[in-house]
A and B are shown apart, each in its own frame.
Chain A
Amino acid sequence: MTNATDIERRPWAGANREYDIVKEFVIAMVVVTALTLGLAFAFGSPDDKNLTLQSWAAASPGDLVATAAQELAGTSGVAGYGPPYNNTPDVSQSIGPINLQELAGVRIPIDTATDFVIRPLEQMPANAATTDAINAWKGATPDQQAKWAGDYADAIDAADGDYTKVAAGDYGPVPVLTGSLLAAAEGGALDGVLLTQGRVYSTDYTLPLLFLADGTYLEDQARAQHLGGDQWGMTNETGSYPGQSWLWLYTFWYQIEPFASSDNADAWVWGLMMVLTVGLMLLPFIPGLRSIPRWIPVHRLIWRDYYKTHAVVKR
């Protein structure tokens, strides 16, 4: 009798059965194609229209103005993001002493005041008030700029986000700048200016998407579609369609502690998933894990017909 290990390694020397591999493939192609065409016909696919800065300005002008004020003040999400956008200290994510975000460095430098507000306004036709406001902003010290914009952002917040009802105060040129930016967004010009940045061709939506994501409007829309990070995010899809369900394990970690409330959640989840992925790849070499199929004999079900008539070697 030949032992099981030898049998696994050698070409099969036992009985064979006829197996038409080409026919199997053709049948699979026909069935899967028909199934796909049928599912596509029956259910279609979701296509919720993209948001634009123009639609954001129309639906939630206060959020856009408040976001612009935060970009000027340097208190927005992107302004305090760290690499690859800027060098904000002590905000990058790390896994213990390993800080890959910091190591990668600033590769897509973004000055939020300049890139989201001042330069777009400079690249569009401006009235005298806007031009004066830009000049006043540029002529001020960084501390003065931060105070004007910070005070204005706080005032909008105190007015429950209604920029038309902010308390009187010294906000310098900031209300004019944010008002001009809002007008440019309402007219549709800001979408193009942030995308092209003075060039003709561009497929890089980094600036408009980061600006949009700095507001609350995008997230509000996403949460309404159960797409929030604590709502299993990317495993869902708009409407009732299946999303990237294969990402369930990645998304799962964000739902539980300690990851859910960790400032380093992304880095830890990525690190954990990398370890698990390498573990899955190297499963054949990991004692214990590789023996699970032997301990839980699902294979008895898979090969039940064969085991009925053939002997087993006990190891």
Chain B
Amino acid sequence: MTADLDATPASPADPPPGTHAAESSSTWTGGLLNRWQRTLPPEKLLPDKQPEYVASWIYVFGVATLAALLVIVASGLILTLRGPAWWHQSDPGHYVNSVHLWSVELFFMFMVVHLWGKFWMAAWRGRRAMTWITGVVCFLASVGTAFTGYVIQTNFDAQWIATQAKDGLNSVGIGAWFNVLDVGQMLLFHVAMLPLVLGAIVIWHVLLVRRHGVVPPIDVALYEEETS
């Protein structure tokens, strides 16, 4: 019985849960767990120490971007509860929309500073190119997500933006599949498709940062005696 097996006392030779057991397992699950532990052990995922050079205000903008994104998601979820036209008719709804707008403005401001900071730090060095690339893709997905938000405002601004933006999209042949004049399609892109894509890339980006660590200063020399 399972309960009996679970109750079997561990012998002193038993490995700690989730370590040796996974390494010795030939199951897909064990293999995945093993790979996860090798790639991103807990001390890398949630470190309580960082290299001494991680001491600048520029590092704040990455986590500030993440924080603003969470405020965007939270305020967006509240807006979804009452539908896309709620904020026109309700003071609380208008305030939540304002929170959504300003969190987006802050999000982009923080992200652009973060991006420029990483550029001047040449943060792609040391096999961190994919971290840079996922960061750029995050920026692009954010632009797309924000844009769909503007065309579902269901007000004059949305009408104008949609009728203008269609020309660019049509000129490269994608306007029929991404029809900015179709509010229903844009709404679903904004609240489902693009946030899922953006969320997945953001998680990937953050995990890459944790895996490879923060890039060291340019041209820094590490004397062996410092490490001994």
Chain A positions within 8 Å of B, measured between CB atoms, are 1-5, 7-9, 11-22, 24-25, 28-29, 31-33, 35-37, 39-41, 43-51, 81, 83-84, 92-93, 100-101, 103-104, 107-108, 202-206, 209-210, 212-213, 218, 221-222, 227, 229, 233-234, 237-238, 241-242, 244-247, 264, 266-267, 269-271, 277, 280-285, 290, 292-294, 296-299, 302-303, 305-307, 310-315
Nearest CB of B to A33, in Å: 6
Task: Fill in one digit per residue for B92-121: 1 if any A CB lies within 8 Å of its CB, else 0.
Answer: 001101111111011010001000010111
Question: What residues on A are CB-neighbors of B121 within 8 Å?
Answer: 293, 299, 302-303
Other-chain residue from B71, B94, B100, B126 in contact with A8 (beta carbon distance below 8 A): B126
B220–A313 CB distance below 8 A: yes
Complex: chain A residue closest to B132, CB-CB:
A284
B19 part of interface (Cβ distance < 8 Å): no
Stretch at the interface among B6-14, B26-34, B167-175, B190-198: B167-175
B221 part of interface (Cβ distance < 8 Å): yes
B171–A15 CB distance below 8 A: no
B217–A307 CB distance below 8 A: yes
B136–A267 CB distance below 8 A: no
Task: Fill in one digit per residue for B58-86: 1 if any A CB lies within 8 Å of its CB, else 0.
Answer: 10100110111011000100000000000
Q: Bound complex: CA of A54 vs CA of B224, how far in Å? A: 78
Chain B positions within 8 Å of A, measured between CB atoms, are 46-56, 58, 60, 63-64, 66-68, 70-71, 75, 87-88, 94-95, 97-103, 105-106, 108, 112, 117, 119-122, 124-129, 132-133, 136-137, 140, 143, 146-147, 150, 153-165, 167-168, 170-177, 179, 181-185, 187, 213, 215-224, 226-227
Complex: chain B residue closest to A104, CB-CB:
B173
Task: List 19 other contacts, CB 8 Å, given A49-B155, A246-B143, A294-B219.
Answer: A4-B221, A13-B227, A20-B48, A21-B46, A28-B66, A47-B153, A104-B175, A205-B162, A209-B159, A238-B157, A245-B108, A246-B146, A247-B147, A280-B136, A282-B133, A283-B119, A297-B218, A303-B218, A311-B220
A1–B216 CB distance below 8 A: no
Nearest CB of B to A298, in Å: 4
Complex: chain A residue closest to B115, CB-CB:
A280
Other-chain residue from A24, A237, A246 in contact with B108 (beta carbon distance below 8 A): A246
A101–B220 CB distance below 8 A: no
Other-chain residue from B50, B98, B126 in contact with A45 (beta carbon distance below 8 A): B98
Question: What residues on A are CB-neighbors of B129 within 8 Å?
Answer: 284-285
Complex: chain B residue closest to A284, CB-CB:
B124
A-B contact count (CB 8 A): 305
Q: A2-B222, A19-B54, A25-B63 are in contact. Are A237 and B173 (CB under 8 A)?
A: no
Would you list 14 pairs from A and B whose C-beta atoms are within 8 A, ordered by A residue? A1-B222, A16-B52, A21-B47, A45-B102, A47-B153, A104-B176, A221-B156, A242-B105, A245-B108, A281-B137, A283-B132, A299-B120, A307-B217, A310-B220
Q: A16-B49, A100-B172, A312-B220 are in contact. Are A47 and B58 (CB under 8 A)?
A: no
Q: Bound complex: CA of A37 vs CA of B112, how far in Å? A: 21
Nearest CB of B to A38, in Å: 9
By Cβ-Cβ distance, the 9 closest A-B pairs, closest first, are A203-B184, A8-B126, A107-B176, A104-B173, A284-B124, A100-B173, A40-B98, A266-B171, A19-B50
Q: Bound complex: CA of A172 vs CA of B128, how far in Å? A: 71
A36–B71 CB distance below 8 A: yes
Other-chain residue from A43, A227, A271 in contact with B160 (beta carbon distance below 8 A): A227
Q: A36-B68, A246-B143, A310-B221 are in contact. Are A234 and B54 (CB under 8 A)?
A: no
B170–A101 CB distance below 8 A: yes
A7–B216 CB distance below 8 A: yes
Question: What residues on B are CB-neighbors of A41 within 8 Å?
Answer: 95, 98
Q: Bound complex: CA of A81 vs CA of B101, how far in Å? A: 34
B122–A205 CB distance below 8 A: no
A203–B49 CB distance below 8 A: no
Q: Bound complex: CA of A96 vs CA of B215, how far in Å? A: 42
A40–B172 CB distance below 8 A: no
Complex: chain A residue closest to B152, CB-CB:
A203
Question: What residues on A are CB-neighbors of B160 within 8 Å?
Answer: 218, 221-222, 227
B172–A267 CB distance below 8 A: yes
Question: What residues on B are CB-neighbors of A205 within 8 Å?
Answer: 162, 181-183
B216–A12 CB distance below 8 A: yes
